[in-house]
Structure 1
Amino acid sequence: MTTIMQITPYYPPHLGGLERVVENLAAGLGHRHDVRVVTTTIGSGNAPRRSRVGPVQVRRHRSIEFAHTPLAPGLLGSLLRAPRSAVLHLHTAHALLPELVALTAWIRRQRFLVHFHLDVDSSGRLGWLLPAYKKHVFGRVLRAAAGVIVLTRSQADWVRETYRVRAERIFVVPNGVGAAYFMDPRPLRRPDDGPLELLYVGRLSPQKNVTRLLEAMSRVQLPIHLTVVGDGEQRAELHELAARLGLTNVTFAGARLGAELTRSYADADAFVLPSDKEGMPLVALEAMAAALPIVATAVPGNTELLGDVALMAQPEPAALAAALDAIADDPVLAEFHGLRSLTAARAHDWDTVVRQVEDIYAEVLS
């Protein structure tokens, strides 16, 4: 049985798509391998620092977050104590952790994989350092990896051109969606069904641009009620903006996971994704499986996954509001996009994704 170290800056109950991708991948691999998740305590609430969830061991290291970067010195010890034959599978969208994994691999003469979820933009007081870090540090880590897993073909081209990673070391593996999210198509909405129940799920962070969504909600002409599911650093700011805009048609529901999250999709009539950029948004896959019509901004990441599925809008409030009104006004259009969602989601089950990852392990780490 192979030992697989899934190394991630954050892990549920911390909110985010990357976290749930790691959770699902670890659970799928755990049926056939010794899977150990190594992560930080950030956003873990009351979760124990050592636990076993099904077949998966989870080790959380004490940490602090500085400039949107988790710092967990003890994590290096876990990596150095892992079996030399272990697969080191790093999930990355943040600094420092890639360097710890690369250092471990160099010391122990191990190979490692990088799972590249998203290229983050500069933010905060030290954001000006990020371009230099990417060019001179992170790029070296990617080139040293035995393989780099990306989510889309366009992301593969970008990693090859930007970070000079050799094409034969880049592997495209899309995100998956769990069976619990698959639902029957929605019945056609009737004029007397009340407001369109619109759902957003995700972090309340600048990249997701819920600000744009709230501004769009202040412009819609038809009855639409928005439920915002999620939490993050912009929570207070977004509550204040909704109050300032006088939005009585918006409910902030906070974080939801498991069955509560599944019910959120079941109760919705449509889903919205107002992001500035995405990798491959897991919440969009979940909404697709739930047979929801989707309105999304036409930005990188969204266009690859949703270009043939969703009603796409330019990333500005007026265009987003017009697209939401179109879905609310035309039940046949909503039904059409809901069926497209469900059809496309069927190609993204987790069993297929796990097998693809296992094939990559066999190819590059054997």
Structure 2
Amino acid sequence: MTQQSSPEHIPATGSAPGRRRHIVQVTPNYPPLLGGLEQVVQILATRLAARNDVSVVTTDNKADGAPHRAVEAGGVKVRRHRALTVAHTSLAPGMFGSLLRIRRGTVIHLHCATAVVPEQVWISARIRGLKYLLHFHMEVDASGPLGRLLPFYKTHLFGRVVRGAAGVIVLTESQRDFLAERYGVDPALVHVVPNGVAEEFFLPLRAPSTEPATGSSPDPLRLLFVGRLDIQKNVARLLDAMARVTEPVRLRLVGDGDLRQALQAQASRLGLDDRVEFVGRKHGEDLVKEYEDAELFVLPSDREGMALVALEAMAAGLPVLATAVPGNIETVQGVGVLVEPTPQALATTIDSLARDRSALAAPAAAGAARVADSRWDRVVAAIEDVYEQVGF
């Protein structure tokens, strides 16, 4: 049986190495593009820059006019290469030139979630005789008309990229096992470092809800989703569930994405305009307030790596209801509520929790306890320890 890993399993670390490193974070996408991987890379880059020289090599995919060269928060140098997006993949030929110019002794930290960018790092490293560290965020499923090529790509291209890395960072023990089984990666080269949670999301546990007085109507149960409105998150499944819910509930959808208009049309078609609210992207205190005001966090995804939003919800004292799919299982199992990835399963559980809100207290407390030590400073120290072990 595969051992499950949870966010609290961040390796114990000593003091961070004293020498200053040159680090290049290579990622297909970067903020302002909205997404968990992009946020992780930005957080790591900014925090690592406190005691290292850090650059980011990425694309301008959905960069909303951000400059192609910039020095951003913390002194991080960001180089965004012009890209064309095909089948959810950013193609940026100019990135290869930047990779070829990386100087020896640099930590090349590659973040993997899409095709092409990993292969550029692999080829440039072989040409230059350099090594790289691969950060595996999640296994991506096929989508779109070119999805039929994905099995060939994984076997004959991506497998070589993973096996060619000097070390691999994964989020869970399950991912370590998966890489060994699927790609033949030596488990001794794989380091488990879960994602972290920013300090502002840690809120005091709220008092459990009480049942309404006899004869009174309960206020609607306040549901919250935070994330990209795209295929992977499958908010359409959550809307279909809302159409089946019979108890009084309200859902706030925080985020934006390519599917927003289609999802708004779906909500209207299902008669949910008075129960579902699309509120767009939220940041900082506004996002914290969304977690603070909600009663139940819902994640209807098809697949995750380790969803930052689920960790943030737990830190904020919110119980988490998620689909039982890879990534969600490792993150939520034992502390939240997992259901089959169907609208009916989500609707049945939402109705049950809306009828008995006292059942929300236990998963809220368990989730908060699980992420209590999952702060980003601890994660960054663990990653610097990995750099040391890999020999950077």
- Which interval holds the TM-score relative to the shorter structure? over 0.9
More displaced stretch, 129-138 vs 266-275? 266-275
Please give the secondary structure, in 2, of the residue aligned with 1:119: coil
Aligned counterparts of 1:221 and 1:283: Cα–Cα separation in 2: 27
Deviates more, 1:353-362 or 1:41-50: 41-50
1:16 corresponding residue in structure 2: 35
Aligned partner (choices 272, 286, 292) of residue 266 of structure 1: 292
In 1, Cα distance between equivalents of 2:65 and 2:369: 39
Find the aligned partners of 1:149 and 1:5 in 2 and give their Cα distance: 15
Q: Determine the C-alpha separation between the residues in 2 that align with 1:102 and 1:267.
A: 45
Q: Which residue of 2 aligns with 1:256?
A: 282
1:107 is matched with: 127
Cα distance, 1:138 vs structure 2:
0.5
Instruction: Indicate the SS of the match to 2:145.
Output: coil
On the 8 A contact 1:217/1:321 being kept in 2, the answer is yes
Amino acid at match of 2:29: Y
Q: How much does 1:139 deviate?
A: 0.3
CA contact (8 A) 2:47 2:74 kept: no
- Write the deviation string for residues 56-84 of structure 1: whole angstroms up to 9, x where unpaired: 22111111111111011111222222221
- Whether 1:55 aligns to 2:75 is yes
**Which residue in the other structure is 1:35 paired with?**
54
The residue number in structure 2 matching 1:341 is 367
> Matched residues in 2 for 1:40 and 1:258: separation?
25
Among 70, 90, 94, the residue aligned to 1:70: 90
TM-score by length of 2: 0.90
1:252-291 alpha-carbon deviations (Å, 9 max, x no partner) = 1122223322222122111001112211111100101110
Distance 1:310 1:114 in 2: 30
* In structure 2, C-alpha distance between the alignment counterparts of 1:150 and 1:75, rounded to whole Å: 24
CA distance in 2, matches of 1:261, 1:111: 38
Q: In the alignment, what sits opposite 1:319? A: 345
Structure 2's unaligned 5+ residue stretches are 1-19
TM (normalized to structure 1)? 0.97
Letter in 2 for 1:36: S
The answer for the alignment partner of 2:24 in structure 1 is: 5
Task: Give the letter for the 1:11 counterpart.
Answer: Y
SS where residue 31 of structure 1 aligns?
coil
User: Does the CA contact (< 8 Å) of 2:22 and 2:105 recur in 1?
Assistant: yes
Please list, as runs of the form range in 1=range in 2, the aligned pairs for 1:1-366 lying within 5 A after superposition.
1-52=20-71, 53-190=73-210, 191=212, 194-247=219-272, 248-366=274-392
Flag the structure with more relative contact order, 1 or 2, with Cα contacts below 8 A and sequence separation at least 6. 2
Question: Are 1:274 and 1:315, in contact at CA under 8 Å, matched by a contact in 2?
Answer: yes
The alpha-carbon deviation at position 249 of structure 1 amounts to 0.3
| Identical positions, percent | 51
Q: Tell me the C-alpha RMSD between the 2 structures.
A: 1.3
Gaps of 5+ in 1: none
SS of aligned partner of 1:218: helix
The answer to whether the Cα contact below 8 Å between 1:203 and 1:232 also exists between their aligned partners in 2 is yes
How many Å separate the matches in 1 of 2:258 and 2:138? 19
Q: Which residue identity does 1:189 align to in structure 2?
A: S
